[in-house]
Amino acid sequence: MSHIDTLSVHAGYTPDATGAVMPPIYTSSTFAQKAPGEHSGYEYARSGNPTRGAFEKALAELEGGVAGFAFASGLAAMSTVLELLDAGSEIVALDDLYGGAWRLFEKVRSRTAGLKTRYVAPDDIAALRDAITPATKLVWLEIPTNPLLKIADLATVVEAAHAVGALVVVDATFSTPYLLKPLDYGVDIVLHSVTKYLNGHSDVIGGAVIVRTPELAERLAYLQNAVGGVMDPFSSFLALRGLRTLPLRMQRHSSNGLAVAEWLSAQAGVEKIAYPGLPSHPQHELAKRQFPRGFGGIVTIWLKADDAGVRRFLAALKVFTLAESLGGVESLVNLPWAMTHGSIPEDNRLRRGITPNLLRLSVGVEHIDDLLADLAAGLAAL
């Protein structure tokens, strides 16, 4: 199966002896053994579960990795990846990233493990190269970044990181394997918040890690079991079901996202817009090379409005729902200043360009005319 459209439907599972075309939900916490240590491949559900295993196998097949691992949340996946590092290790991370990742680095692992994180702009190649030194053990990227939608040149970063023996981790939640396969660029670990596009229906919390080498697969398998933040069987079933329609959804997310971005870029109430699919994006040419199938459904805008105007805009929306998260079939709008990135200190947010008038749109699969009419109503309320 060479096409991802076909692979997404069939990956991870073939009908069992019953002929079931979808894997059953195995809820058992433990499994019978014929003799001590002699089992069918499953002994305790934290260590392995057939339903979770089908989802993990599907993830690996879609990303082109040697193994996949499913976790109870995106942050559980991130936390387990960080367990690859020894205490006191140095990380180079992008200076525009998910607020929860920043909180994990700066408020948790800096204290409990002494991890030192240096931040650098993803669109400054020279600075990225300079930041990666022999002391660097891990380079942490998002592509695109959250919420400014900047693009890192993966080939360049991988070359610089591997030259000093550092691992490269890419959070590809926004892009998904339909739009980008980081492992093809030599990235070592791909990470996803399964909650978002992979599941696609805003009814599961989950995370995933896919690795490029058998050595990393062995280490992550050990850590997944030892740390224990695994995805439950029902969530695994739902996430695999969502994965089956990923190409269809991403095509619609991308076409709607581009249409919304083009329309908003011409509106007087919009101060600025970030979307990699627009020629105005500073890294548009790089984005076209790395995202040949489309640019996704996330659009970031800065309104020409004060706090009261932003609130009027949000209150006028009927199709876009004000909520955290993204990547579901429904359209969502988020105010990162007060929501997803509120844990980052104010001066840090402002320095990055995350201001009180910045909105992150997760453009869903609704009819484009309804989406544009809804945004027009919001702009009319400014």
Interatomic CA distance for residues 20 and 283, integer angstroms: 46
204 and 223 in a single domain? The answer is yes
Same domain, yes or no: 119 and 250: no
Residues 30 and 132 in one domain: yes
Q: Which of 215, 242, 269 is the last residue of a domain?
A: 242
Beta bridge partners of 30: 44
pLDDT of residue 336: 95
The domain that contains 315 carries what CATH number?
Answer: 3.90.1150.10
SS3 call for 59: helix
Please report, in tens digits, the pLDDT of each residue of the chain (382 residues total).
679 999 999 999 988 889 998 899 999 999 999 898 888 889 999 999 999 999 999 999 999 999 999 999 999 999 999 999 999 999 999 999 999 999 999 999 999 999 999 999 988 889 999 999 999 999 999 999 999 999 999 999 999 999 999 999 999 999 999 999 999 999 999 999 999 999 999 999 999 999 999 999 999 999 999 999 999 999 999 999 999 999 999 999 999 999 999 999 999 999 999 999 999 999 999 999 999 999 999 999 999 999 999 999 999 999 999 999 999 999 999 999 999 898 889 998 998 899 999 999 999 999 999 999 999 999 999 9
Q: Are residues 171 and 104 in the same domain?
A: yes
Is residue 134 classed exposed, middle or buried when 0-12, 13-18 and 19+ CB atoms within 10 A define those classes?
A: exposed
The catalytic residues are 46, 98, 171, 196
User: DSSP strand E in the chain: where?
Assistant: 67-71, 90-94, 116-120, 136-142, 167-171, 189-193, 207-211, 270-274, 298-303, 321-322, 332-334, 358-362
What was the pLDDT predicted at 1?
A: 67
Q: Are residues 253 and 221 part of one domain?
A: no
Instruction: Say whether both 260 and 365 belong to one domain.
Output: yes
Which residues have a Cβ under 8 Å from the Cβ of 10 and sit 6 or more positions away? 1
* Last residue of one domain, picked from the residues 195, 223, 242: 242
Residue 127 sits in the same domain as residue 274: no
Give the span between the Cα atoms of 177 and 167, in whole angstroms.
20
Let me know whether 78 and 155 are in one domain: yes
Q: What is the CATH number of the domain that holds 149?
A: 3.40.640.10
**Boundary (domain end) residue, out of 202, 218, 242:** 242
Do 194 and 337 have their domain in common? no
36/47 same-domain check: yes
- Indicate if 208 and 284 belong to the same structural domain: no
Q: Based on the domain organization, do 226 and 285 belong to the same domain?
A: no
Look at the chain and report how many structural domains it folds into: 2
3-state secondary structure (DSSP) of residue 7? helix
**Residue 8, domain extent:** 4-242
Residue 353 exposed, middle or buried by CB count within 10 Å (0-12, 13-18, 19+): middle
Q: Taking the complete model, does pTM exceed 0.85, yes or no? A: yes
Are the beta carbons of 347 and 326 closer than 8 angstroms? Answer: no
